[in-house]
Amino acid sequence: MAKKYSRSIATLALALTAAAAAVLTSGAAMAIEWNLQPAGSKLAEDIHGLHEYVMILCTAIFVGVFGFMFYSVYAHRKSKGHKAAQFHENTTIEILWTVIPAVILVVIAWPTTKTVIAQKDTSNPDLTIKVTGYQWKWGYDYVKGEGEGISFISTMSTPREQIEGKAPKGEHYLLEVDNELVVPIGKKVRILTTAADVIHSWWVPAFGAKQDAVPGFIRDLWFKAEKTGTFRSQCVELCGKEHGFMPIVVKVVPQEEYTKWVGERMKLIAAAADDPTKQYTLDELKKRGEQVYAKNCVVCHQATGKGTPPVFPPLDGSKVVLGPKEAQIASVLNGVVKDGKPTAMVAFGPQLNDTELAAVVTFTRNNWGNKTGDAIQPAEVKALRKK
């Protein structure tokens, strides 16, 4: 009976194991990651060293303990006729195996404590950058040091088609953004983290730098990059639907290049500053609005404007969108609060300027089945912003 089953079970097990082996050999062609990412800072290097040190200790103890056990499994088996000794309890050995692990812990704790203290020391930075987590993108504000005043939003740039399997996936699939965080090499960068909606977590493995971004609070961390290059990572605290799609990309550049980048950014800011008093035509607004929509609204409300109810309501045919324009502008500006609690519709006032807001509201009022014909001017948004 059992034998018959054994054969079919064995076949199944072998098939699955063979499948795994096949994956492994085909995977051998691409790089297989075994260990921590290469360190890009002294701190990360210390963490790697610590990890290796602890792993060696643990492995040695593991092999020792289970060496005993497997020797026993091999030598002290009933089928070999081994008679059980009946000993139990031995104060000396029990004290030893309590004290020795305690001593090993102290040996581990000593170097670890030094790293903990170093990791927490965010004093005297050369550059301070505020990072704000939004559902689902990162905002970067250079608040002190060279580049002060630079401010941008960093959104994933991997196209939806790649995620949905309608296009081949690129090299940096899910790890690419429209605006990278740029920092100079060899400078102590202090990152202040906060969030606008829920908890996010900002992490760059190569720098050994991870800090939760808690809404309403400011936390900090620091890193000093010692290699130029692009370092990639992702949000690491579950923050809702698109948690897997808000990458962090840091570009470390030499000082001269950084200075040049700051200069370009500053010029760009001056040039791109929309004149909020300008009058736009409906078509201009719609065109601009479509871009704003694609960057900020599409993941929830969808390209079709149908949303994914009930959490993300449709805009196509929506009462709010087709209703008075002041009410719609206010809800985009300030977010929607329902029964006294904030909803997934966060305030876009802090993220978008008056022209962008006017454009996106115009777009939603004149797209899909919505045909109000309203062309909202930046001045109208500006007026409501003050209230």
Q: Which of residues 204-243 bind another protein (CB under 8 A)?
A: 205, 208-212, 214-217, 219-220, 232-243
Q: To the nearest whole angstrom, how small is the minimum distance from the Cβ of residue 218 to another protein?
A: 9
Separation between Cα atoms, residue 42 and residue 156, nearest integer Å: 28
* Omega of the bond leading into 261 within 30 degrees of 0 (cis): no
Which among 254, 193, 186 is positioned nearest to 42, based on CA atoms? 186
- For CA atoms 92, 96, 98, 99, the dihedral sign is positive
Within positions 234 to 293, which residues make up the interface with another protein, using CB under 8 A?
A: 234-245
By CB under 8 A, residue 6 contacts another protein: yes
Q: Which residue has the tokens 């000993």?
A: 87
Question: Residue 154 class from Cβ within 10 Å (0-12 exposed, 13-18 middle, 19+ buried)?
Answer: buried
For residues 192 and 220, the answer to whether their CB atoms sit within 8 Å is: yes
Cβ distance to another protein smaller for residue 184 or 208: 208
Residues numbered 23-62 forming contacts with another protein, rule: CB under 8 A:
23-24, 26-27, 30-37, 43-44, 46-47, 50-51, 54-55, 58, 61-62
Distance (Å, whole) CA 214 – CA 195: 5
Label residue 189 exposed, middle or buried (CB < 10 Å: 0-12, 13-18, 19+). Answer: buried
364 φ, ψ to 5°? -70, -30
How far apart CA 333 and CA 347 sit, in angstroms, is: 5
Shortest Cβ distance from residue 174 to another protein (Å)? 5
Nearer to another protein among residue 162 and residue 228 (C-beta)? 162
CB-nearer residue toward another protein: 136 or 261 = 136
Give the shortest CB-126-to-another protein separation in angstroms: 22
- In the window 307-326, what residues touch another protein (CB under 8 A)? 308-311
- Compute the least distance from the CB of residue 81 to another protein, in Å: 8
Stretch that binds another protein, among 98-106, 177-185, 253-261, 378-386 (CB under 8 A): 98-106
> Does 180 interact with another protein (rule: CB under 8 A)?
no
Q: Shortest approach of another protein to residue 226 CB, angstroms?
A: 17
Under the binding rule (CB under 8 A), the answer on residue 164 touching another protein is yes
Q: Which is nearer to another protein, 47 or 376 (CB)?
A: 47
Name 327's Cβ contacts closer than 8 Å, sequence gap at least 6: 320
- Interface residue with another protein among 63, 173, 273, 326 (CB under 8 A) is 173
Q: Which residue lies nearer to another protein by CB, 117 or 271? A: 117
Give least dist CB 252 to another protein, A.
Answer: 17
Please check whether residue 386 is in contact with residue 322, taking contact to mean a CB–CB distance below 8 angstroms.
no
- The pair of structure tokens assigned to 354 is 């008056």
Selected binder of another protein within 56, 94, 254, 273 (CB under 8 A): 94
Q: Which residue has the tokens 């060279």?
A: 146
Q: Shortest approach of another protein to residue 289 CB, angstroms?
A: 26
Q: Are 235 and 204 in contact (CB under 8 A)?
A: no
Least distance (Å) between residue 11 CB and another protein:
12
Instruction: Give the span between the Cα atoms of 173 and 182, in whole angstroms.
Output: 20
Which CB, 69 or 268, lies closer to another protein? Answer: 69
